[in-house]
Amino acid sequence: MSLAQLRAAPLGAWTRFREHHSRALATVLTTAVIAYVAWKIFQSPSQALQFAFNGLPVGAVYALLAMGFTLVYSTVWFFDLYYGAAAALGAYGVFYLRSQDFLGGRYDVNNHFVNIAFALVVAGVVAWALHVNFHSRLRTRLSPTALRAVGGAPSLAIGVYMWLVLANPNQLNAMLSPVIGALVAAVAFWLLHRGYGRLADNSRPISVLALAPPAAALGSYCGFLVAATPDANLYLSWGVSCVLAGAVSLALYRGLYVYMRLRAKSPLIMLVASLGILLAITAITTIIFRAAPRPLPEAFGSDVWTVAGANIKGFNVFAIGVAMAGFAGLLLLLKKTAFGTAVRAIGDDEEVSKVVGINTTVVIAVVFFIGAIFAALAGILSGHDTAIQPRMGLLLLLKGWIASVIGGIGNLHGAIIGGFALGMIEQFGIWDLAGEWKDVISFVVLIVFLSFWPQGLLPRR
């Protein structure tokens, strides 16, 4: 045996000894936790069911956070802390648009400067999208002035439209009915044309003429229904809030992160920049809405259902369904579409993706937009269950990250499993403790997983 091998032998033996005892300790801890939970369930099955009913909707919120976080992180491989601010923007967006519903407008906080700021963000995002998609095609046909007019007029019009929507929250149903009708008509036409095309591949011009009227009629009918339903304003505010959170995320990526990624020598610079954005948005939220907790309007499903001696609200079941639907939609997007293939290629090697012709800037921008929508939706669902406050984004960000660590960072299946697992662990963990211990339990679980299972339950492959 060489001298180097003699020197390395004790270190190798110590490493094997440490790994063996770490696995043994992890096994003992897991067995103890399972035995404790089984004993408590045997003691009071109805109480255990109640904790499960409490944990599942909370886990759904964490799962949404973890899925969006996983999508962004596994694509660009840095922690975007704006993600927490997006969750708070979603919740406060609903409060902003529906604050006049509280006590005769006592909490009405509609602000012209806020409306203009968001309108400018939306207009800028639309202008960038038009530039990316049409500038290269039209620059040889139009003069620079005409090209700017072609791109600027639609973006300006959409920005003004967003300002009108935000400035007239009592008329969301009337303001958004044309957009909803157009979206329904477009989706209906696409579905009908796709199905009809399989039967008549050689008659596409005829299929367009035949299918456009029924699609337009369906869209018009849906738009009319929305315009005639003022009670839909609360749920329309969900959509507006999610879009605004996504637009801010896309604007931050295109206006800041792209240049920082080119110039930054370390991912730490990106982390600090996103931390500054999170703190700035939190401070602005505090200035506009004050630091006191605020309620959101009561949504549907507030009636309590009793099952085997345990209670759960219909809205909580809806939250679980939203998480499952979000997982299914994101999985289909990533596995069955060309966009999903591009996302996975960028996550594996961004430079190679550029070489093969993928527009990485556009794909990553869309990823940031989708991730922020998931975060905003999680914030909305959480806000309808508990009061909202400006610093809620930081806590939700941490819970989404813990859920990702539990499930396996970068694994979409692990994200949803980790979210529901964290929700259940929190609830069962306070069986014999006060509710204030939930956050302590979450961070203890984080430390345990980082110590014994750093790859999570389902490691990324």
Q: By three-state DSSP, how is residue 304 classified?
A: strand
What does R_g of the chain's alpha carbons equal in angstroms? 25
H runs (alpha helix) in 306-460: 314-336, 338-348, 350-355, 360-385, 392-407, 412-429, 438-452
Which amino acid is located at 177 in the chain? S
Structure tokens at 130: 């038009």
Alpha-carbon gap, residue 120 to 275, rounded angstroms: 23
Structure tokens at 124: 């800028």
Structure tokens at 239: 């959509």
For Cα atoms 382, 384, 385, give the angle at the middle one, nearest 5 degrees: 65
pLDDT value for 26: 65
In the block, tokens 């840095």 appear at 78
Cross-strand pairs, 63: none
Structure tokens at 48: 């255990």
Alpha-carbon gap, residue 372 to 241, rounded angstroms: 10
Chain-centre distance for alpha carbon 203 = 41
Alpha-carbon gap, residue 295 to 384, rounded angstroms: 8
CATH topology of domain 45-90+229-452: ABC transporter involved in vitamin B12 uptake, BtuC (1.10.3470)
Q: By three-state DSSP, how is residue 350 classified?
A: helix
In the block, tokens 């039967």 appear at 199
Alpha-carbon gap, residue 301 to 321, rounded angstroms: 13
Q: By three-state DSSP, how is residue 203 classified?
A: coil
304-307 vs 310-313, strand pairing mode: antiparallel
Structure tokens at 324: 């499952």
pLDDT value for 77: 81
Alpha-carbon gap, residue 164 to 81, rounded angstroms: 30
Half-sphere exposure of 15 (CA within 13 A, CB side): 5
For Cα atoms 78, 79, 85, give the angle at the middle one, nearest 5 degrees: 140
CB atoms within 10 A of CB 450: 12
Tens place of pLDDT per residue across the chain (461 aa) = 454 454 444 545 545 555 555 667 667 777 877 787 787 777 777 888 888 888 899 999 999 999 988 898 888 888 888 888 999 999 999 998 887 766 455 666 778 888 899 999 999 888 888 877 766 666 666 666 666 666 678 888 899 999 998 888 888 888 888 999 889 888 888 877 776 655 555 545 556 667 778 888 888 888 888 888 888 888 999 999 999 999 999 999 888 888 887 776 677 788 888 888 899 999 998 888 888 888 888 888 788 888 877 888 888 999 999 999 999 999 999 888 888 888 888 888 888 888 888 888 888 889 999 999 999 999 999 988 888 898 888 899 999 989 998 888 888 888 999 999 999 888 888 877 776 788 888 888 888 888 888 888 887 76
pLDDT value for 11: 47
Evaluated on CA atoms 397, 410, 426, 387, the torsion sign reads positive
Residue 211's H or E segment, with its range, is: helix 204-227
- Show me where the domains of the chain are located: 45-90+229-452, 108-167
